[in-house]
Amino acid sequence: SHPLDLRLPTPGCFADPERAGLDADAVFDGMTEHLFFTLGKLAPTASNHDLYMALSYAVRDRLMTRYLASLEAIRARPHKTVAYLSAEFLIGPQLNSNLLNLGISKDIAEQALRRFRIESLDQILEVEEEPGLGNGGLGRLAACYMESLASLQVPAIGYGIRYEFGIFNQLIRDGWQVEVTDKWLKGGWPWELPQPEEACFVGFGGRTESYTDGKGNYRSRWIPSEHAIGIPHDVPVLGYRVNTCNRLRLWRADATESFDFYAFNIGDYYGAVEEKVGSETLSKVLYPNDGTDEGRRLRLKQQHFFVSCSLQDMLRSLGNRGIPIEEFPNHWTVQLNDTHPAIAVAELMRLLIDEHYLDWDTAWDITTRSVAYTNHTLLPEALEKWDLTRFRSLLPRHLELIYEINRRFLQQVRLRYPGNDAIQRKLSIIDEDGGKAVRMANLATIAAHHVNGVAALHSDLLKRQLMPEFAEIWPEKFTNVTNGVTPRRWVALANPALSRLLDEHVGPEWITNMELLTKLEERQHDTAFLEQWGATKLSVKRKLAGYIHRQTGVLVDPSSLFDVQVKRIHEYKRQHLNALQVITHYLRIKNGQAEGMAPRTVIFGGKAAPGYYMAKLIIRFINGIAETINADPDMEGRLRVVFLPDYNVKLAEQIYPASDLSEQVSTAGKEASGTGNMKFAMNGALTIGTLDGANVEIRERVGPENFFLFGKTETEIMELQTNGYRPRQIVETLPELAEALRLIGLGHFSNGDGELFRPLLDNLTGFDPFFVLADFADYLRAQDEVNQAWTNRKQWNRMSLLNTARTGFFSSDRSIQDYCQTIWKAEPFPVEITCDVP
């Protein structure tokens, strides 16, 4: 570490809260100034939103010293920096997280707020609009990783896109999902710092040409037909109670003026404006698909846009510091979050060869020593492939470079497997089967020094099923880093009641060292403590019950078992398996066979991709079931079903802490990892789940006796697939299933409309691609076990406690340490700030 005296007139030293400006008076003064000068409002007439903005600006001011000190530290003394490239960062609300990481307690914030006649911080947090710049797991993981990097004091920058419209807001109308544009910027967003002076220029389209340079070398250059400008918008990412404050640098696309001017000059005013509109659409909207690749041209444009800006930015930072370009891999480690930024391989080669005049071998050496790739899915429909013609028309120079990368690589393959054409076709970056296409996963894998999966099982399947030939050629390239989630947001902020308990019984250090939670095991037989554990959960469930009532009008009993499935809606995640279980439960009550069945509240939440018909029908299905069940007097006090609309980070923070049972029921082999499963377990929910993704590791850690396992293994699923699977035969052997399907077909959950759910029924009984019926009986058995366990509340609380105690491994701090050691070779770089500001 090295001391810095920035001599800035901002509050900075936080050894002493008064001088650091972190006390209530200082926060109040900061708010007052911002209300008046920044927002142009008078305190007596300020709305809650005004106060949210004022408090946010006051908090932002207080991170600025750390932010600037972190930038300055790395400028003065270069240190390897992680560049995390991701098309999505689902960062969630910022105010509370920055308060926590800075060390401004809720109490201090409320002391300041009371002087504006606001009683609780929650009233202010409520009005915060979250930037929905991601679809689900992948984007949220990127956000947890940015937080952990900063908390571990590792220099890092997240590069992405500042979408004007994030993931759509979901409304439920007549049981159907309706998508509404997400105008997250409409009230102003106080957390970003635009840096127009660091704009970058990006080309698209056009052609390439060869020329001879001054030294007589043949070279290629790209003459794009279109340009856009990327304006960085920086979001500070403060670590927990440290000086390190990293950045998330999100690029907003702007039109290029030089090009417009030409059109102006020849009098084509509207043409010029059209060009402007055209390039601004680049960062307009996030593609709302989670796990399907639509191959849209604008999406490829978005990818190249943010990747090119980011790489130019990295190269420029070397230039600014006088560091030779050959040193790139010692200063930057570039992580590709899935293949969305994989064009980085070709773009870095282009920048190094065409713009910095390096030879091929030097450029390739730099690229392959810098870039690593994380795979997040095995689903074939999610693997990005770009139609070759489209790719060439947008990125002609990149295609040339990709051909050359491929030629050199396939030469190696030929030497290793002489005469084996099949292997060449499979490993080639260019897919020649059917319409020609560029395979982004192959490009990423060939260039990356490491390729990792996101859970042990997934990394294993990646090697054995998806890329066995690559793994044979480069066994040392393939590795695993099991996902993790940040305990700051997902325990400390989301679950203050539990946090207090942990502070008392483990000590406050758990928040940066989750392995300490094993200390809770000492309490596993302590009846009084277990009661306190249960009471804490109940208090959080009461709050969620209130929210459910306000949102849906459904009254739920906080003492019932909260059985929860929240995640994107997808057939492989099998929300419909859960829905069928609910119907069985309902039928047992109706038929008087529900003796000993504990009252349950089954909660669903999640968005469906707007073009994914079956997923949207599943939402309609759940809502149909909910309507029928909640209106039936026989279900009173016994069964409730809720679909909570518009699942996002903010809602997630309310749901995980209030859950008793975590539904992780994906078809084995399909869910790469899951991260919601970790958030549930840390907050003391028990899991009912398959041996899929990180469920496997969760079960190993919490112990099989504290986990409700069911379902076929990945191998059994594969066998079923190869031996011919007949779902209809299963229906014949399971009367409860047959009865449920019959009722659905009669329109019992759709106001008598027997046709509404026909496609779902046909899908399940016809080919059932995700083996819902194959796992149904075992799922019911496991649900009965859940019910049994819940009736012995002391035992349940003990199991719950052990889930929290034993899931410290799933902190994203551990994941980031793994990445740093095995892939990035990056180390902490503490930032020191001297306190003698004059």
Residues known to be catalytic: 376, 567-568, 573, 675, 679
- Least Cβ distance, residue 789 to ligand 8GP (angstroms): 27
Q: How far is the CB of 321 from ligand 8GP (least distance, A)?
A: 33
Question: What's the maximum distance between 2 C-alpha atoms anywhere in the chain?
Answer: 90
In this structure, the number of other CB atoms found within 10 A of the CB of residue 588 comes to: 17
The minimum distance between CB 693 and ligand 8GP, in angstroms, equals: 5
Judged by beta carbon, residue 375 or residue 628, the one nearer ligand 8GP is 375
The residue among 327, 685, 773, 681 whose CA lies nearest residue 485 is 681
Where in 311-463 does DSSP place strands (E)? 332-337, 371-374, 385-387, 430-431, 437-439, 451-453
Which of residues 138 and 473 has its CB atom nearest to ligand 8GP in the complex? Answer: 138
Q: How far is CA 533 from CA 202, 401, 407, 698, in A?
A: 55, 60, 62, 21
Q: Which long-range contacts (CB under 8 A, 24 or more apart) does 495-503 make?
A: 495/540, 495/656, 495/657, 495/683, 496/106, 497/536, 497/539, 497/540, 497/657, 498/536, 498/540, 498/657, 498/683, 498/684, 498/804, 501/532, 501/533, 501/536, 502/804
Q: Is residue 474 a contact partner of residue 373, using CB atoms and an 8 Å limit? A: no
C-alpha dihedral, 265 to 268 to 272 to 274, nearest 10°? 180
For residue 163, which phi and psi values (nearest 5 degrees)? -65, 135
Residues at the site binding ligand 8GP, with contacts judged by CB under 6 A: 135-138, 141, 289-291, 338, 376-377, 382, 454, 483, 671-675, 693
Would you tell me how many other CB atoms lie within 10 Å of the CB of residue 207?
13
> At closest approach, how far in Å is the CB of 415 from ligand 8GP?
35
Nearest distance from C-beta of residue 108 to ligand 8GP, angstroms: 35
Q: CA-CA distance, 666 to 713, in Å (whole number)?
A: 11
Residue 641 · residue 582 · CB < 8 Å = yes
Residue that is written with structure tokens 């019950």 in the block: 545
Closest CB to ligand 8GP among residues 255, 655:
655
Which residue is nearest to ligand 8GP, using beta carbons? 137
Give me the helices (H) in 754-808, please: 758-766, 772-791, 793-805
For residues 153 and 303, which CB has a smaller minimum distance to ligand 8GP in the complex? Answer: 303
Minimum Å gap between C-beta 382 and ligand 8GP is 5
- Look at the block and give the residue holding tokens 């990125």: 395
10 Å Cβ neighbour count for 486?
Answer: 26
Q: How far is the CB of 688 from ligand 8GP (least distance, A)?
A: 17
Q: What is the CA radius of gyration of the chain?
A: 28
Q: Cα 760 from chain centroid?
A: 29
Q: Which is nearer to ligand 8GP, 540 or 694 (CB)?
A: 694
Q: How far is CA 12 from the centre of its chain?
A: 32
Residue 395: C-alpha distances to residues 224, 437, 443, 447, 533 (Å): 8, 13, 15, 19, 58
Closest separation in Å from C-beta 295 to ligand 8GP? 13
Q: Find the distance separating the first CA and the last CA of the chain, reported in whole Å.
A: 22
